[in-house]
Amino acid sequence: MPRRRLRSLGTIAIGFALALSAAIALAGIGVYVALIDVIDRQVDLRLQAEAHELLEGTPGPALLASRIARESSERESADIGFLLRDAKGATIAGNIAPTHSLPLGFSTVHHDAGISGLSRGRAWKTQLADGGTLALVAESEPIERHDRNRLRILAIGFGAVVALLLLGTVALIRAIGTNIAAIASAADAISHGDLRARVPVDQPRSAFGGLAVTFNRMLDRIGELVASMRGISNDVAHDLRTPLARLHGRLAALAADPAAAPVRHELEAAVAESDEILAIFAAILRISEIEAGQRQAGFETFDLAALAADIAEGLQLMVTESDRAFVAPTAREPVIVEGDPRLFTQAIVNLIENAVTHTPPGTTIRLDVQRDGTSALLVVEDDGPGIPPNEHERALRRFGRLDASRHTRGHGLGLPLAVAVARMHRGSLALQDAQPGLRVALRLSLAPGCSS
């Protein structure tokens, strides 16, 4: 099973912060445990040194009791607890009386041992030659609640490190997010036709600044290539349109000449073909102009629903005369968008003409505009043969005519022009199955302040 990838920048940063916080917490626990161990070792060494002085020369019980009494009264060892017992367990000398027996060797004692003034300490106990035992106990927490205070100090210290880590993580997320947003904004603008968009560069020698410089250099190169290709296609279209227009004029003049009566039908067909070719070149230039974003300066706020209703009224006769039913949009609330109404007019006309061209007589064509959340949705739908889902992408490409429609008029530029208009307005156009028929959905954002 493949491992799941962390795709979100926030998830990665939070995961890193949690992992590092856990590592810091473990380090704090390790420091605390190590500190306790160092203190215990120091106390153990002190107990060993004190016991060595008491047992020097292998004293008898009486002398050992005398030494214990002396050590208990001296300043340096007054905080040590002593307990001397005989072989039967009776107390001979000492200043402590633990509630439970202490094990031989070193051990840790707590307040439950019943030793007055002791919260935590270390004990050392040895077996004497006569069968008796000697035990020494020293406090390892000489200050009241020292262990709790030590925990508080460590918690504050490592907590401050974790807080700084989290603040640094938040700052890192914001820094990375800001730079990614700048790149995404430039890429989004370019995808909508603004090839002049670039990533702002504040510090060219920084990591993100260097990335922005490289990204902009790539965009410059892409822009040059696109401009070159666009220039070639536009030049070809312009250069060919002029002689074609002259050819169209000559053919039209010949068709009107009385002497051309025997071939007038063929001349009129040639004039119609030249009209079609000129229309193709005009559509190519129109799409290039839209994709270049040259019409964005003419954007204005308008009611898309009202525009669609006006267009439907103008096209009603054309659709019905083609022996197809037309359902125009009904009166509804305004759908306010921002853009070029002339381009939307052309896009809507193209979509309806496309439906008329590629559906059989008797088909019903519907036009509708509505608000869908924060978006405006324009739909042209028919109940004709439709387009197979696997052919949708091809139908949206320039000259992407389907094999089934090769016998019909058209040049495969109606849908691509509508796609170009949608992209120019930062919207989208999708082909959907109307079951039966085709549903063309053009979606774009409502004008600012009109989404509520």
Mean pLDDT of 430-438: 87
Higher pLDDT among residues 6 and 385, named by residue: 385
Residue 353, classed as helix, strand or coil, is helix
CA 324 vs. chain centroid, Å, equals 48
Of 442, 448, 449, the closest CA to residue 344 belongs to: 442
Average pLDDT score over residue span 53-75: 84
Highest mean pLDDT among 25-29, 53-57, 406-410: 53-57
pLDDT, tens digit (0-9, with 9 covering 90-100), for 131-183:
889 999 988 765 445 556 666 776 777 777 777 777 877 787 777 778 888 88
Residue with token string 């949705």: 377
Q: Whose CA is closest to 401, among 357, 347, 343, 432?
A: 357
Angle separating helix axes 304-321 and 341-357, nearest 10 degrees: 30
Strand order from edge to edge, sheet including 364-372: 325-327, 364-372, 375-382, 438-445, 428-433
282 — pLDDT class (breaks 50, 70, 90): low
In our burial notation (b when 16+ CB lie closer than 10 A, e otherwise), range 169-195 reads: beeebeeeeebeebbeebeebbebbeb
What three-state secondary structure class fits 445? Answer: strand
pTM for this prediction? 0.47
**Whole-angstrom Cα distance, residue 340 to residue 289?**
13
421: tokens are: 């208009």
Q: What does the alpha-carbon distance between residue 287 and residue 293 come to, in Å, rounded to a whole number?
A: 10
Spatial neighbors of 3 by CB under 8 A, at least 6 apart, are: none
Which H or E element spans position 33?
Answer: helix 9-54
Q: Is 308 exposed, middle or buried (0-12, 13-18, 19+ CB in 10 A)?
A: buried
Residue 367 binned pLDDT confidence (cut-offs 50, 70, 90): very high
- Is 50 exceeded by the pLDDT of residue 418? yes
Residue with tokens 């309806």: 352
Per-range mean pLDDT, top range of 32-36, 45-49, 398-402, 425-429: 45-49
Computed over every residue of the chain, the mean pLDDT equals: 79
CB 416 within 8 A of CB 377: no
Domains (range + CATH), the chain: 9-147 (3.30.450), 207-291 (1.10.287.130), 296-445 (3.30.565.10)
Residues 229 and 212: beta-carbon distance below 8 Å: no
pLDDT tens track for 31-48: 778 878 888 888 889 888
**Are 140 and 120 spatial neighbours (Cβ–Cβ below 8 Å)?**
yes
Specify whether the CB–CB gap between 387 and 395 falls below 8 A.
Answer: yes
What backbone torsions phi and psi does residue 287 show, to the nearest 5 degrees? -65, -40
Cα–Cα distance measured from residue 259 to residue 273, given in angstroms and rounded to the nearest whole number:
22
- What phi and psi values does residue 81 have, to the nearest 5 degrees? -95, 135
* pLDDT at residue 451 greater than cutoff 80: no
Distance CA 430, CA 441 (A): 5
How many whole angstroms separate alpha carbon 447 and alpha carbon 451? 7
CA 438, CA 355: separation in Å to the nearest integer? 9
Which of 282-291, 314-323, 326-335, 421-430 is predicted least confidently?
282-291
